[in-house]
Structure 1
Amino acid sequence: MRAAAEVTRRRLARFEPRGSVSSWYATGFVVLVAAVLRFSGLAQPQGKLFDETYYAKDGWGLLTKGVEWNYRDNAPAYVVHPPLGKWLIALGEWAFGYYDVDGNQHLTGHLIDAAPEFGWRFSAAVAGTVSVLLMVRIARRMFGSTVLGCAAGLLLALDGFHLVLSRVAMLDIFLMLFVLAAFGALLIDRDQRRRVWLEALAAGTGAPTGVRWWRLFAAFLFGCAVSTKWSALFFLPVFALLVLWWEAGARRSAGVRHPWQETFRQETGALVLCGFVIVAVYLTSWSGWLLTDDGYFRHWRADSGQSELPVIGALQNLIHYHQQAFGFHSTLQDKHPSQSWPWQWLLLGKPVTVHLAYPGAPWGQAPVSEIILLGTPLLWWSFLPALAGTTWLGIARRDWRPGAILLMVAAGWLPWFYYAADAHRVMFNFYTAPILPFLVLAVVYVLGAMIGPPDPVDTDRRLVGAVAAGAYMVLVVLCFAYFHKLFVGDFLPYADWANRMWLGDRWHP
């Protein structure tokens, strides 16, 4: 009986080590590296880069009008993404200032008067830095190692793709942050639930009950993700599956006779409650549109001669807006020089050129300033082998962690293959943003398997694995340093710029 209880205790034990001051010092160092890289020279290059021409203006419209606004036409702007990411951009503009639509009047920030580019890029830099913090702690929790947690955070901090998204006013860094944070909240919920089960068994009581605050917080964060970009909905079935899988696993470890049946019976209501939280957060993000009269399609029913009841009419108008926006997303086929397909993304087949300038001389003679949305090549070309290794290790070890990682990658990547094959929809490599942390987790999981657990008998194997993993990390750092100027737009002599175009015309603008 005692042996059976010990087995149950081990099955319900959490993976992550207990928190320590030293782990937070190490985390702080990694986050400091990320912050310095993201905030240094943030206001350069000047002007609006790539989609900043939309989102910086939309943020200012939300701040001043409550809705996205076209100042040139003095009319509401038609936009096809939810407002939350643009509200976050607006916070930086409120704090540090903005230029008006013609760029000739400096509007002073409420906290610090800074370059306007710093204002509209500030929130993205904060989101990128916070995502590195979350990466360290999530990896540490999953892998039970501060070293592996810091390795994951450092790989994310030194990824060029992540760095560029952290330094431009686009929505994808916020989408990544909220998806990663929601996953982290579910991890904490999983660990707490298993601990509560363990305590209930030790006390001889029945199945544990109570409010699942971390799960509700995960729903709130997921609502924030959907309120930033609709593509977050790809992750909804996976989040629900993870909850059910982990709940059934806890019940199985606790000795429940029909774990899946009990899980569906007891958790369905809680999942429905999470759905209400997600919807509430999403509608709240549209409060500027709902509570004013100026938004695009705000009074579509009245304008088209139909009845428009209070509250219900506003929701009907919002539904119509969403139908029109969904039609735009589903049929977007306008060609773009930086467009790419899902099978190219992890191979760095066609990165987006965010900025390009070569003043003072013809192309080929002038120094080049370019910002290219390019992942650190050595890291990104490790992703597919890491996914294969994670799959094999997950099957061989019967480990839940590879399954969670692979499900998150599949949720954010595979749906785009459908849109590419069926609708031929135009798409870009930054659509991979929400799965980037999980690709890094796959790499770190394989690195951890290479190092292995302490073995007093075969210490050489662990040493060889640690040296190999350390060498890989050093090479990624060197690769990042070599391409760094292409991530921040520093000028390079043309020959040096050309030497960094490893895939030739595929990387050329």
Structure 2
Amino acid sequence: MTTASTSSPDKAADAQAGTAGADLQDTASPAQPNRAEDGQRAEDDLRAALGLDPAGSQAPRAVRVRGWVATGAAGIIATLLRLLGLAHPSTLMFDETYYVKDAYALWTVGYEAQWAEGSDELFAAGDFSGMSTEPSFVVHPQLGKWLIGLGMQALGPESPVGWRIVPAIAGVLTVVLLARLTFRLTGSPVLTGLAGLLLAIDGVALTESRIGLLDVFVGLFATLTMYCLVRDRQWSRARLARDLAGTGAGHLAPRAHVRPWLWATGAALGLTCSIKWSGLYLLAVVGVMVVVWDTQALKKVQAKAWFLEGTLSRGIGDFIRLVPTTALVYLLMWWSWFTHDGAYKHGWAAQQRAAVGESARSWLPDALNDLVEYHLSMYTFHVGLDSEHPYQSRPAGWLLQLRPTSFYWAGEEELAGQDCGSQQCVQAITSIGNIPVWWAACVALVAVVLLATVGRDWRAWVPLAGYLGLYVPWFQYPDRTIFTFYTVAFVPFVVLVLVLGLGMASGLLPPLPGTPPGDEGGWVLSVRRMRRWLGGRVRRSPGAYRVDADDVLAEDRTGPGDVVSPSSDAAVTGAELTGAESSSDTTSCEGRRGLAAVCSSSEEMSVSRQRPLPVVQRWTGVPAERVRRGGVVLVGVVTVAAVAFAVGWWCVWTGTTVSYEVWRWHMLLGSWI
């Protein structure tokens, strides 16, 4: 009887879980493969069922290095665009009048304080005498203002760069995080660089990385949340496969583990909520996703009572790791409010007892009771905010960027004497998104929804969670004063949706690891099902997938546990799917499913081992024959259009002095004015 693999158990639980899309392998199959005998399952079989690469495998070093090169290039571009001219304008603009001054007060007296009328001009000139010690009623948690103030401490509170440097750094970090998240999902350096580039040159992400507002931090910590969540999914499934190795179907689910990446997800959610309360909706979405993923994992490994174990036992554990962690981090971010008696509402419970003899929620400690009362006041403000604003917008128009927000405007009076080639010069900063990105993402969103629902590809749910947690909830506030610039919180997921859509179209998005040939799942299965519904016909180039009108799905012609013959029309070799070097040991094909089970002749595999990794494969993460020319052209068109738009609209994103006619030409839609 063959035993389960025990090599490098720690690595198998994390790094060796592999990226979901990094299906190029450095290591060949073991000389003595783990085969399932006498009803016992090998670790690699369980990993294949859970959508993981074999234990000990990872993307080739060339692909990993190029993934970091793509990430670094995107990060450099993002840094240059966010730091160039960051000091302009030298005055407080838009809501900097609140958050920058609140940040100064936090670092000075420990809580947000009231400012005298007309303090903006004095503040910009380095005169902070307008600040009093009276507490101010603010409606957002403190963390974002602490972060803004950090830059002011480093570079001086009178410096516009000091006001904006930390938001700029947050914008750069968001680009880097999105790139690494994309690589973990796709294993493609090209898609990694594309995601980073498109976010780096997006107008919403760019303008809000160059202004002292809070929402860019929401986007940063939300992206960090999803990155940690994906890492937890891979870690927990790798550990599940290792725990159940050597067992048969119907075995009890193993005990729960610490799951450090899930704790990290909870901490990231706590930081998100500590910027703005909108992070609570993302917490709810992530909580549901974790329970569903855990339950599905137990089902795939045929654990005993998998539904009850997943929804109840694992669900309670997931709740404990996420919600209390989020709440604890959130409370810790109020440390300064707890330690300063002069803060707003601090001492409210004691004042109530002195005035009327009792206070509401008297069973709570005074400090927590004071904070609860403060939060009730903030909630009342948020839900009742309905004052008119010229740049308010409705969520229905956000994805099309129908009503962007104007952050700054300087006209003829402020720019007297400046030369712009016209008698009327203007400076404007408007958070117009990169239109080729946003509009193309609307089309890609349909494809990604199909990938998630019809194709059952879990990777599609990662960006969709951003939409569900950070965009959809705004529809419940039809009468509230809200703005398009809130989209910066989920713009990384808009970009990720577009990149996944382009990856599907170009063939750069690989099938999930462990996907059996002939039952490819994911986007291939989506195409087949849609073809069946519509009666269409999809052809392939040599070496790529093919779907013909007379095809029959593998699930229609094979029974449970059947292994599709490599000679069948629907089957493809493991090397063709993954570009991996194959083992000469053909005995590993017997009785196994997944990519590891697909074999060709020893002669073919020997040739595969001797063939060097093509340059295309090193940069795309997939064999060259899988790349579709039409899809690559589409990727190029979208990228060139996005870069051209960024170059053309740079003046509108950064407040460059232009003539009124030039500015007016950039207002493509009447609603932009």
| TM-score, normalised with respect to structure 2 | 0.69
Count of residue pairs the alignment pairs up: 488
Identify which of 365, 371, 393 aligns with 1:318: 371
- Measure, in 2, the Cα distance between the counterparts of 1:27 and 1:235: 26
Determine whether 1:127 maps to 2:170.
yes
Determine whether 1:360 maps to 2:419.
no
CA shift in 2, pair 1:168/1:66, >3 Å:
same
1:274 Cα deviation (Å)? Answer: 2.5
Moved segments of 4+, more than 6 Å = 308-311, 361-364
Identify which of 183, 189, 211 aligns with 1:168: 211
Letter paired with 1:41: G
Determine whether 1:497 maps to 2:663.
yes
1:405 Cα deviation (Å)? Answer: 2.4
Q: Partner of 1:77 in structure 2?
A: 136
1:123 Cα deviation (Å)? Answer: 0.7
Q: Partner of 2:635 in structure 1?
A: 469
Q: Partner of 2:385 in structure 1?
A: 332
Q: Partner of 2:299 in structure 1?
A: 252
Identify which of 296, 315, 326 aligns with 1:278: 326
Q: Partner of 1:414 in structure 2?
A: 472
Greater Cα offset, 287-296 or 199-208:
199-208
SS in 2 for 1:355: strand
Letter paired with 1:215: L
CA shift in 2, pair 1:461/1:243, >3 Å:
closer
Deviation per residue, 1:330-359 (Å, 9 max, x gap): 100110111001111111111110000122
1:444-483 matched pairs, under 5 angstroms: 444-452=499-507, 456-458=542-544, 459=625, 462-483=628-649
SS in 2 for 1:62: helix
Greater Cα offset, 285-294 or 386-395:
386-395
Partners of 1:179 and 1:434 within 8 A in 2: yes
CA shift in 2, pair 1:460/1:261, >3 Å:
closer
Identify which of 628, 652, 655 aligns with 1:486: 652
Structure of larger gyration radius? 2
1:8 Cα deviation (Å)? Answer: 3.3
Deviation per residue, 1:89-128 (Å, 9 max, x gap): 01001111113xxxxxxxxxxxxxxxx1111101100100
Letter paired with 1:221: A
Q: Partner of 2:266 in structure 1?
A: 219
1:17 Cα deviation (Å)? Answer: 4.1
Letter paired with 2:416: G
Partners of 2:67 and 2:192 within 8 A in 1: no
- Measure, in 2, the Cα distance between the counterparts of 1:148 and 1:409: 20
Identify which of 27, 39, 47 aligns with 1:9: 47
- Measure, in 2, the Cα distance between the counterparts of 1:258 and 1:439: 38
- Measure, in 1, the Cα distance between the counterparts of 2:73 and 2:180: 13
Letter paired with 2:171: G
Letter paired with 2:470: G
Q: Partner of 2:109 in structure 1?
A: 65
Partners of 2:208 and 2:216 within 8 A in 1: yes
Determine whether 1:184 maps to 2:233.
no
- Measure, in 2, the Cα distance between the counterparts of 1:345 and 1:261: 40
- Measure, in 2, the Cα distance between the counterparts of 1:270 and 1:397: 26
Structure 1 unaligned spans of 5+:
100-115
- Measure, in 1, the Cα distance between the counterparts of 2:627 and 2:66: 27
Q: Partner of 2:123 in structure 1?
A: none
Determine whether 1:439 maps to 2:494.
yes
1:63-142 matched pairs, under 5 angstroms: 63-72=107-116, 73-99=132-158, 116-142=159-185
Q: Partner of 1:400 in structure 2?
A: 458
1:456 Cα deviation (Å)? Answer: 4.2
Letter paired with 1:255: Q
Partners of 1:172 and 1:431 within 8 A in 2: yes
SS in 1 for 2:327: helix
1:404 Cα deviation (Å)? Answer: 3.3
Identify which of 56, 77, 81 aligns with 1:37: 81
1:431 Cα deviation (Å)? Answer: 2.0
SS in 1 for 2:278: helix
Determine whether 1:146 maps to 2:192.
no
- Measure, in 2, the Cα distance between the counterparts of 1:397 and 1:47: 51
User: Aligned residues: percent identity?
Assistant: 34
- Measure, in 1, the Cα distance between the counterparts of 2:194 and 2:389: 36
CA-atom RMSD in angstroms: 2.4
Q: Partner of 2:428 in structure 1?
A: 370
1:392 Cα deviation (Å)? Answer: 2.1
1:199 Cα deviation (Å)? Answer: 2.1
1:153 Cα deviation (Å)? Answer: 1.1
Partners of 1:242 and 1:404 within 8 A in 2: no
Determine whether 1:28 maps to 2:56.
no
1:457 Cα deviation (Å)? Answer: 3.1
Q: Partner of 1:194 in structure 2?
A: 237
Letter paired with 2:485: F
SS in 2 for 1:371: strand
- Measure, in 2, the Cα distance between the counterparts of 1:218 and 1:389: 27
Partners of 2:148 and 2:163 within 8 A in 1: yes
Partners of 1:373 and 1:487 within 8 A in 2: yes
Greater Cα offset, 454-463 or 150-159:
454-463
1:365 Cα deviation (Å)? Answer: 4.0
1:307 Cα deviation (Å)? Answer: 5.8
CA shift in 2, pair 1:40/1:317, >3 Å:
same
If each structure's helix is expressed as a fraction of its own residues, which one has the higher value? 1
Q: Partner of 2:446 in structure 1?
A: 388
- Measure, in 1, the Cα distance between the counterparts of 2:321 and 2:182: 28
SS in 2 for 1:230: coil
Partners of 2:262 and 2:321 within 8 A in 1: no
